Amino acid sequence: MLLAAFVVWSPAEAHKAITSKHTYNADVYPIFLNRCSHCHVEGGVGPMSLVTYAEAFPWAESIRTELLDDGEDDPDDFVRAAHDTLNARELDIVLDWAVGGTPEGDAARTPPAPGLKNDWAGPAPDLVLRLPAPFSIPADAMELTHTFVLPANLPRVRSIAQIDLLPGTPAVVRDALVSIRTTGARTNVAGRWKPSQIPVSVAVPLGTSLSPGDDVILTIHYKKTWKYEGKTLTDQSALGLYFAP
């Protein structure tokens, strides 16, 4: 679940009447942990962490606004991702908590905050192509796209079944396009990767293959959140290829 809008929170919010029967510790945290914590965790691509009460409750109004939005016009699909991630029961719980005073629950039973998980979606890929050197995202750039040419150096033709990306700096890797450039100068799109709460590798079109001399073209879209504004970041992501038997 990715939330894009930012609503200023005032101290007066803390004095709202508690009307929700749902608390963060007992009801909301398990939802955020299971549905949102891959992105909304410290160091993740989400603009804020939601896996502790102190981090989550200031964003209650923003959460309510985003979840009630239909997401049709959102350019980054943040709102649509939220709707697609939560089922109806979970949506009701989070909304009830967000508008009902955001109660914490029993502070003595505060659940532990998970760390950032950044690994391949499945088993180790058959071929890993890492960026040859760290790529710098300048301090004055909030968003940019860069294309990398990664020689595959295969000794024989291999059919590609799936692709996956392991972000070097997950907080700024928003999505990536993978293409195959053949020795005949043709370029075929193999697939587009996006971060997801439940990481999955991307199936490629049937018949996609790599031949000796072919290059893999990796175009990464970088985008900073407000937390990294004015900061220089580096990324050295790795592309994983899974070959068909």
Spell out, as residue ranges, where the chain has pLDDT lower than 50. 1-14, 75, 78-79
For residue range 54-87, list pLDDT tens digits in order. Answer: 989 898 888 888 888 755 555 455 445 555 678 8
DSSP assignment of 110-129, as one string?
PPPPPPP----SSSPPSEEE
Token duo for residue 149:
């040419």
Q: What is the dihedral of CA 65, 145, 150, 187, to 10 degrees?
A: 90
Question: What is the model's pLDDT at position 243?
Answer: 93
Question: What is the model's pLDDT at position 67?
Answer: 81
Q: Domain map of the chain by residue range?
A: 11-109, 127-243
- Can you name the CATH fold of 127-243? Jelly Rolls (2.60.120)
Write down how long the chain is. Answer: 245
Question: What is the model's pLDDT at position 179?
Answer: 93
Question: pTM to 2 decimals?
Answer: 0.74
167 alpha-carbon distance from chain centroid? 10
d(CA 21, CA 55): 20
Question: What is the model's pLDDT at position 35?
Answer: 83
